[in-house]
Structure 1
Amino acid sequence: MEITYRTNITPATEAIIAVYDSSGIKRPTNDPERIAKMYENSNLVVTAWYGDVLIGIARSLTDFCYCCYLADLAISMEYQKGGIGRQLVKLTKETLGKQCMLLLLAAPTAQEYYPKLGMDTVHNGFIINREQ
């Protein structure tokens, strides 16, 4: 069975949580309502499926013409290192088009991954961290 990619669906919260928990990404998976709200307020979701099982997800917030924040990129552990993350980022960028930049905050463990996708490091960003 081959992996398929979709941009027209927001998966069930339980499936999203399963991918997050398997991937190693730190998200509030003990709070399904918060995860559901994260997706309700996101306007670009690209997913990877093995049959009917969600195995990867890219969640973004964008205006589709100038900027996009790629908030989450998560691949189930057993499918990592197979190019799925690369394809999810590629499809996200293709959906956005050439006028739109793509920005993300990388987890410390992923600092070396994103340059391999052709992404540049930024040193001119600022953050106010969440309190919860």
Structure 2
Amino acid sequence: MINYQIEKELSLGEFRQLLLRSTLGERRPIDDLDRLIQMLEHANLIVTARDEDKLIGIARSLTDFAYCTYLADLAVHEGYQRQGIGKELIKQTKLAAPQAKLILLSAPKAINYYPKIGMTKHSYCYFLDNLTDLT
């Protein structure tokens, strides 16, 4: 039985191991432990999926609970994928902030997943990695 819950405290080790055991580890700073700690500390909505005590999924978000929720990380352990866990993590995230629009940037491997579960694609997204790129 998989349990979904909001967790205020998640260990760095569990978070890192889940990133490594999902495809998200390819695009996260898994060897920069200070940065991973900050990612956990500054997220204000973390929904987890656990099989017994084992962390098998996470939806890590930043939200104002009123207008927008940015789903920064959606990761499901590779051995548990294609069972609806990611969709349920999204559902539980939305339930925690029902008025807020849920927003995410898709990983390249997941770009076809989100429309299949009912999310709408938006073509007006912009990002800035380096301050020196700002003109």
TM-score when normalising by structure 1: 0.93
Structure 1 equivalent of residue 105 of structure 2: 105
Contact 2:61 2:70 in 1 (8 A): yes
Tell which deviates more after alignment, 40-49 or 22-31. 22-31
Letter of the 1:128 counterpart: L
Percent identity of paired positions between Structure 1 and Structure 2: 43
Letter of the 2:124 counterpart: N
Q: Deviations over 1:26-79 (max 9, x none)?
A: 211111221111010010000000111111000000100001100000001000
Give the number of aligned pairs.
129
CA distance in 2, matches of 1:10, 1:113: 29
Structure 2: runs of 5+ lacking an equivalent? none
Instruction: Please give the secondary structure, in 2, of the residue aligned with 1:121.
Output: coil
Structure 2 equivalent of residue 118 of structure 1: 118
Q: CA deviation at 1:108?
A: 1.0
RMSD: 1.2
Structure 1: runs of 5+ lacking an equivalent? none
The reply on whether 1:63 has 2:64 as its aligned counterpart is: yes
Structure 2 equivalent of residue 72 of structure 1: 73
The reply on whether 1:90 has 2:105 as its aligned counterpart is: no
Contact 2:8 2:45 in 1 (8 A): no
Q: 1:41 to 1:80 in 2, by over 3 A?
A: same
Q: CA deviation at 1:130?
A: 5.1
CA distance in 2, matches of 1:94, 1:124: 25
Q: 1:39 to 1:130 in 2, by over 3 A?
A: farther
